[in-house]
Amino acid sequence: MKPLVHGDVVEFGIVILDGPGNYPIRALTGWATVRAAETYARTLTGIAGYRVVTLQRVAVP
């Protein structure tokens, strides 16, 4: 994963799930494409599962 620089758009994140109930236990952000997020998620070890999610922009007043 390349480091983010000022002006990069972060569109996708990975939600790490626990085993028993598939509850989210951790969120990682920083990918511009689904493919990049999936590629990184597949390298994670010791997790029960994951989901790639779309991030929403937060309006700043």
Separation of alpha carbons 58 and 27, rounded Å? 17
Phi and psi angles of residue 53, each rounded to the nearest 5 degrees, phi first: -125, 155
Torsion, Cα 61 5 16 58, to 10 degrees, reads 10
* pLDDT tens, position by position, 3-51: 556 666 678 999 999 988 889 999 999 888 999 999 999 999 999 999 9
Which tokens sit at 30?
A: 């920083």
Phi and psi angles of residue 51, each rounded to the nearest 5 degrees, phi first: -135, 135
Q: What is the pTM of this model?
A: 0.74
CB atoms within 10 A of CB 44: 13
pLDDT score of 55: 86
